[in-house]
């Protein structure tokens, strides 16, 4: 099972503001997981950050899938 990480926790590990992380993921610049568009117009995107992708991004290879 893939472990998920919150936006706030991931941003803290990377060393950036959570909104910056969201913008980078939405733009496709950072592949940390999935950005899910809202079902209803005017809703907020959901951000699913996966531990394995975050570790790879941070250079911490060798994590479990």
Phi, psi for residue 51 in degrees, rounded to 5? -55, -45
pLDDT reading at 61 higher than 80: no
Average pLDDT over residues 34-52: 95
Phi, psi for residue 56 in degrees, rounded to 5? -65, -45
- Whole-angstrom distance, CA of residue 42 vs CA of residue 17: 23
Global pTM reads: 0.86
Average pLDDT over residues 31-44: 94
- Whole-angstrom distance, CA of residue 3 vs CA of residue 19: 21
Average pLDDT over residues 31-55: 95
Q: What percent of the chain has pLDDT over 70?
A: 92
Which residue ranges make up each domain of the chain?
4-57
């Amino acid at each position: 099972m893939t472990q998920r990480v919150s936006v706030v926790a991931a941003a803290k590990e990377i060393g950036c503001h959570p909104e910056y992380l969201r913008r980078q993921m939405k733009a496709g610049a950072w592949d940390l997981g999935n950005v899910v568009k809202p079902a209803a117009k005017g809703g907020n995107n959901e951000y699913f950050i996966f531990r394995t992708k975050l570790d790879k991004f941070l250079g911490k290879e060798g994590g479990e899938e």
